[in-house]
Chains A and B, each alone.
Chain A
Amino acid sequence: GENVEQHPSTLSVQEGDSAVIKCTYSDSASNYFPWYKQELGKRPQLIIDIRSNVGEKKDQRIAVTLNKTAKHFSLHITETQPEDSAVYFCVTGTASKLTFGTGTRLQVTL
């Protein structure tokens, strides 16, 4: 079955710095790669997603890059703000299966 590894498990950055979270996967059939953000006490919400026919996607301060050959994808957050503090989950998906990463707890300090 699919194996998704997410690193790091915790990440602390200063406000204004960039944060990068990486995920690797094993199933070459994976073709959908969303990222979810879960703030403390709240439900997970989709922040950005990418499909396998695209190598990079950007939405304001958030970007995702995908390397299908190497089977890894990354979330990049620039100019981090305190409200970016949350747990972030990467996901891989095929037409019939979803696999979640183990989560990264991001702490943005002032």
Chain B
Amino acid sequence: ETGVTQTPRHLVMGMTNKKSLKCEQHLGHNAMYWYKQSAKKPLELMFVYNFKEQTENNSVPSRFSPECPNSSHLFLHLHTLQPEDSALYLCASSQDLSYEQYFGPGTRLTVT
């Protein structure tokens, strides 16, 4: 285990649902990340938070909404998703931006 946990591990949701993914790290890190991993694009960086401030948003659609209430927790709020949003969503944390990232186990999301 890396010290980064994600819940739920699996999620099936309809296109009209609203759900949230949760990530928690117990490593004392200051930076947290959301990634999308699918067959089409092996690893896409979505959002970056450093010291609770969002520092990067890689042109992610607004149906994905991140939230970082403190440096240990990161959420990804989902609403009106599309089937093509089905993927593995990985969370990671690092001491700072240019340091080793520790990944969580991911949430396998299926949008029906």
Contacts and interface: CB of A to CB of B under 8 A. Distances in A.
Interface stretch (A55-63, A66-74, A93-101): A93-101
Contact of A89 (B42, B56, B97, B106): B42
Interface of A: 31-32, 34, 36, 38, 43-46, 49, 51, 87, 89, 93-100, 102-103
Interface of B: 2, 33, 41-45, 48, 55-56, 90, 92, 97-98, 100-101, 103-106
Q: What are the 6 tightest A-B residue pairs by CB atom distance, in nearest-first order?
A: A103-B42, A43-B103, A32-B98, A46-B100, A93-B98, A44-B103
Contacts of B101: 34, 36, 44, 46
Nearest to A89: B43
Given A32-B98, A94-B97, 19 more contacts: A31-B98, A34-B100, A34-B101, A38-B43, A43-B103, A44-B43, A44-B90, A44-B92, A46-B100, A51-B98, A93-B97, A95-B97, A96-B55, A96-B56, A98-B33, A98-B45, A98-B48, A100-B43, A103-B42
